[in-house]
Chains A and B, each alone.
Chain A
């Protein structure tokens, strides 16, 4: 690795004062063992999407599941790797209610009951159950599995005296209760790795947040995904589908926090322009902004300067904007509102979105240090900037705030809902500052400095790898993150996705690491 530049050194030193957690020790070489991923539950969102796509139902059974969630990404084997008693029973109950929902609707029922048996052995039952089980299990059922399901049907027709739809309903409930539906469980292939079909689910849950379609299952089971070309073609199809919006919502939404917008509280007396529909529009606006890094060729290094889409729903919110003030992630109304308190801006929180969110540098306050503004007697500070200057006099706070304050204060022209303002408390806004020796007048100049930051690419790589592998990263992953980031150079997200999918850790077949 090159010797750090002087600026980099400053960052690292200040970072250390702020309890920086990074990869510090020498990188161990990654050991690539293509084992099956640990069995784990779908997340609530994934379960809902999976059964809706499978059955055509509209209910959301997982909204009623017990949920335990990891920080950052909910799809994490660390928290999904156990089936509690409550969870297991909720899954079995969901299979029952979903079956009821399907068989109460002739249209939905017809998707599963695809034929009526004319004779005992005309293959109708086996055909329709087999097709349904394949989509539900996300792999072709073995012959003995299919035999057993047909046996359940025959028993229901005979001993339980059910009619054809009644017996099909019973089989449907058995299929939906199968652990392969609610769990991501990868069977062992004879060679010890995961079966090739596992890659279909790995890809579809990564990009679509739902089960693979038949084409993807076909590709995986035919061995087409064993080659890089095959994987790239499959990935391209997934990314070009409108379902990639689930990737934007889940990956960016959880990483950058936009998923919290729906519960963000704004003081309605101070900000009557912020209504639930405006809140929703800011989320859609942010998703559209982020989609350009996935759908198009926009490189991630443009994140501080990329253009915003026009949004008629936000016209009123943006009505006071001078020309050209909106560019990049940090001037999205969604970002600005979410990083504010309900009644006022929080420059610290806005800066943390950059430093901890986009640069992956932890800035936890040292133990025992309060991060609240202290009320000191005497003349009260009037603007947020004055309060922060006061805050920074505390040496325990200065380490982090020296980094954070200039970044956050560069956005002070935007109020707590992201609307443009020129004064605060009767005082003119001053958004200027100095970022490691480079003076700036507002966030637009600062963007030039921020986009040079060497942490931008590795941070996004680290987040995407963790999201794709559905686990927290460990120091053993550091070398992989660094090599992916070096190759990527903060290019388009689509390129990064392709590189991640090409790692043996993701595709699960034995390959010599680069």
Chain B
């Protein structure tokens, strides 16, 4: 009865999903340049970045472009895409923080609150207090940036958005709901859309029941599907008439899911992609107590990441959705990155030792300290980041670089899928210190909108710009929304576009 033995795990999925299906899948749909879809992809990693991330960064207020812009060692896998990259430094995300008399860049407890605020820029503690809910179990946030993109583009694709991720070992509590540790997408303030780590479930959502053979078989399947969903809707409405007003709201949410499935069943009748092999499953951790480690039951973290990259690529290439959030691990991750290969370790100067645990949160708290006072236009490195923390970051960077390269390899209209995607890669906190200013951020793609082949360092703490302005700018300029305000600023400062980042 061990919980482990019950699990189907990712075994050999890398083999099952090897290249041929991607080739077979290519939709060969030519988008004219002006019709090329716009997409938004957020790849987030928890627990901040090692100081290596800022090696060679320009001084505050300065920009490096072209040859002067050099990628730090952790980011070198992005090198083939350098002409489509924009590194951004000195962007903060803390002015929503009501922890003290005025917003402080040090947010406690930082992991849960910073992760929750990464895509919403609001203070979940304060939202709960206002709603008179207990901090230990309440779940409330704002609406996340990706969901505003999704609402804007919802009509274009069968899925308004997709939430994916790699976390298979729940992070530690910060005395807050796990929703804050594990979620980037908030459809509404009360609806966290937790990332799906199970490739099979994502595959089903993307490809659906379109696998049936003949037209007649497909029609029969659709009739059965309709019969079930009609009955479920009728019976849910019947129950709804017999419950309290509050419970009616919950049943209405359930009905939303029934309707979404009905719409999808209709949309799938026009088959657009051929069907790749169905990948095996990686289990979603069943609760806070349990998790999966690399090597356990044949689980392979590298393969898991590869399959996720392929599925995200499939989602965009086949135009199943235009918005994806990909959370690479839980905030305050307890995962041990023992699998990181020698090459990634070499890149940051970590000698290979099989016994190194590479425990993410442990290594975040290993040696490493960055100053908070400006010296020569920078925050000085007081103690270099420990190499374990750097190696974990190097691995995370490589996996996202591989995804970006995949997207850039697919031609679409006048460019590539990456050109038509704004990829934001970053973390909810700075580094070892858990501070919420100077977030590590790398943007890729968004060709035509964003400045490229550049590293822009904004002003230092105190005059720094805020992440909410980045989301505000992208929503308006890339999403074409009429957003007038995004996130909160307890100082009462209004949003302003970050024109410094535009072409």
CA distance A93 to B220 in the complex (A): 18
Stretch at the interface among A1-9, A73-81, A387-395, A416-424: A73-81
CB neighbours (8 Å) of B289 from chain A are: 253-254, 259-260, 262-263
Within 8 A of B (CB), among A38-72: 38-40, 43-45, 48, 58, 60, 62-72
Of the residues B6, B223, B228, B260, contact of A174 by C-beta under 8 Å? B228
CA distance A231 to B288 in the complex (A): 33
Closest residue of A by beta carbon distance from B160 = A85
A68 to chain B, nearest CB (A): 4
Within 8 A of B (CB), among A171-210: 173-174, 177-180, 183, 185-188
CA distance A152 to B224 in the complex (A): 10
Confirm or deny: B227 has a beta carbon within 8 angstroms of a beta carbon on chain A: yes
Contact B231 A148 (CB under 8 A): yes
CA distance A64 to B8 in the complex (A): 11
Closest residue of A by beta carbon distance from B205 = A89
- Which range holds the interface residue count of chain A? 35 or more
Closest residue of A by beta carbon distance from B285 = A67
Confirm or deny: A314 has a beta carbon within 8 angstroms of a beta carbon on chain B: no
Beyond A262-B289, A472-B137, is A63–B257 a contact (Cβ under 8 Å)? no
CB neighbours (8 Å) of B256 from chain A are: 83, 85, 88
Contact A179 B194 (CB under 8 A): no
Closest residue of A by beta carbon distance from B176 = A71
Q: Bits for B216-251, please: 1 = Cβ < 8 Å to A, else 0.
A: 000010011001100110111011001110110011
Confirm or deny: A160 has a beta carbon within 8 angstroms of a beta carbon on chain B: yes
Beyond A65-B284, A179-B254, A185-B243, is A79–B137 a contact (Cβ under 8 Å)? yes
Of the residues A48, A86, A265, contact of B193 by C-beta under 8 Å? A86
B254 to chain A, nearest CB (A): 5
Contact B232 A174 (CB under 8 A): yes
Contact B137 A45 (CB under 8 A): no
CB neighbours (8 Å) of A72 from chain B are: 136
Contact A85 B187 (CB under 8 A): yes
CB neighbours (8 Å) of A44 from chain B are: 286-287
Confirm or deny: B211 has a beta carbon within 8 angstroms of a beta carbon on chain A: no
Contact A36 B224 (CB under 8 A): no
Closest residue of A by beta carbon distance from B233 = A177
Of the residues B183, B198, B244, B250, contact of A40 by C-beta under 8 Å? B250
Of the residues B7, B108, B239, B334, contact of A179 by C-beta under 8 Å? B239
Contact A63 B108 (CB under 8 A): no
CA distance A68 to B258 in the complex (A): 21
CA distance A60 to B239 in the complex (A): 27
CA distance A156 to B243 in the complex (A): 30
Closest residue of A by beta carbon distance from B109 = A364
Confirm or deny: B2 has a beta carbon within 8 angstroms of a beta carbon on chain A: yes
Closest residue of B by beta carbon distance from A155 = B227
Of the residues B108, B175, B179, B239, contact of A68 by C-beta under 8 Å? B179
Contact B243 A39 (CB under 8 A): yes
CB neighbours (8 Å) of A186 from chain B are: 243, 247
Contact B137 A71 (CB under 8 A): yes
Beyond A63-B284, A68-B194, A71-B136, is A81–B250 a contact (Cβ under 8 Å)? yes
Of the residues B3, B204, B250, B283, contact of A82 by C-beta under 8 Å? B250
Of the residues B2, B198, B201, contact of A280 by C-beta under 8 Å? B2
Since A68-B177, A253-B289, A254-B289 are in contact, a sample of 16 more A-B pairs with Cβ atoms closer than 8 Å, ordered by chain A residue number, is: A36-B244, A39-B243, A44-B286, A63-B6, A65-B284, A67-B194, A79-B179, A85-B256, A86-B194, A88-B254, A88-B257, A93-B201, A177-B232, A178-B239, A269-B355, A474-B134
Q: Pick 28 A–B contacts, CB within 8 A, sort by A.
A: A38-B246, A39-B250, A44-B287, A66-B194, A67-B286, A67-B287, A68-B178, A69-B177, A69-B287, A70-B137, A70-B177, A74-B288, A78-B133, A78-B134, A78-B137, A83-B256, A88-B260, A89-B261, A148-B231, A156-B224, A160-B223, A177-B228, A185-B243, A185-B250, A186-B243, A186-B247, A254-B289, A472-B134
> What are the 9 A-B residue pairs with the smallest beta carbon separation, nearest first?
A88-B257, A66-B194, A259-B289, A70-B137, A78-B137, A39-B247, A83-B253, A68-B179, A71-B136
